[in-house]
């Protein structure tokens, strides 16, 4: 039996996002100019109503009201990629980790390049926060939507946390 796929488009501060679901579970989040470009012919028909909760959570994230997505996810990848993507989900909002730290977290300390490759193939941008992974010297390295989008997401998360600290009771 073939999986049923649908998609929708939502606006965001980093441009239009394409959300894809497989059997009604979020399986892809793609930005304009996404690299590597996904095969859009496999996204299925547009079904905006099917993505109401996802659209709400993205709106809350960009408004600074959500720090973790709670959507069911259905990423497709190798066992190693799935392990890396799960490690990415453990990176706290507003913080960063290096590729070597992720390699350590998945028990493969010498697999830094493999971690970077898995990070680059993450099909659930933002929800699985690959934007929070940086180079060992603190440099912002490649991002599927471009380094400027990565910078925007990291700066936005830092601003939200700073605003919360300023307004926290002493």
Q: Which residues carry out catalysis?
A: 130
Report the SS3 class of residue 18.
Answer: strand
Contacts 24+ apart (CB under 8 A), 58-63: 58/10, 58/12, 58/17, 58/19, 58/126, 61/126, 62/12, 62/13, 62/156
Phi, psi (degrees; rounded to nearest 5) at 26:
-60, 125
Q: Identify the CA nearest to 136 among candidates 99, 90, 87.
A: 99
Cβ partners under 8 Å of residue 62, min gap 6: 12, 13, 156
- Helix and strand numbers (H, E) in the chain are 5, 5
């Amino acid at each position: 039996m073939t999986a049923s796929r649908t998609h929708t488009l939502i606006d965001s501060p980093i441009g239009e996002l394409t959300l894809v679901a497989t059997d009604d579970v979020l399986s892809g989040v793609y930005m304009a100019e996404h690299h590597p470009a996904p095969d859009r012919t496999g996204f299925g028909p547009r079904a905006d109503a099917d993505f109401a909760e996802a659209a709400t959570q993205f709106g809350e994230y960009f408004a600074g009201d959500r720090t973790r997505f709670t959507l069911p996810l259905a990423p497709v990848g190798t066992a190693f990629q799935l392990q890396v993507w799960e490690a990415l989900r453990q990176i706290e909002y507003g913080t960063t980790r290096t590729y070597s730290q992720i390699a350590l977290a998945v028990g493969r300390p010498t697999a830094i390049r493999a971690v970077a490759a898995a990070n680059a193939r993450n099909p659930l941008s933002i929800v699985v926060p690959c934007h929070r992974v940086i180079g060992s010297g603190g440099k912002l390295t490649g991002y599927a939507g471009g380094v400027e989008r990565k910078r925007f997401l990291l700066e936005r998360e830092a601003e939200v946390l700073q605003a919360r600290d300023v307004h926290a009771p002493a």
